[in-house]
Amino acid sequence: QLDRIIIHQQVELLEAILGTETSSKYEIKNHLGQRVYFAVEENGCFDRKLCSPLRSFTIRIADNAGREVITVNRPLRCNSCWFPCFLQEV
Q: Residue 54 gets which letter from DSSP?
A: G
Would you state the pLDDT for residue 36? 95
Q: 1: pLDDT confidence band, cut at 50, 70 and 90? A: confident
The size of the chain, in residues, is 90
Q: What is the pLDDT of residues 2-39, one digit of tens each?
A: 889 999 988 777 666 666 666 789 999 999 999 999 99
DSSP SS3 for 23: coil
Q: What is the pLDDT of residues 33-68, one digit of tens each?
A: 999 999 998 876 666 666 666 677 889 999 999 999
- Rounded to the nearest 5°, which phi and psi values hold at 11? -90, 125
Would you state the pLDDT for residue 3? 87
pTM: 0.72
Straight-line distance from the first to the last Cα atom of the chain, in angstroms, rounded to the nearest whole number:
24
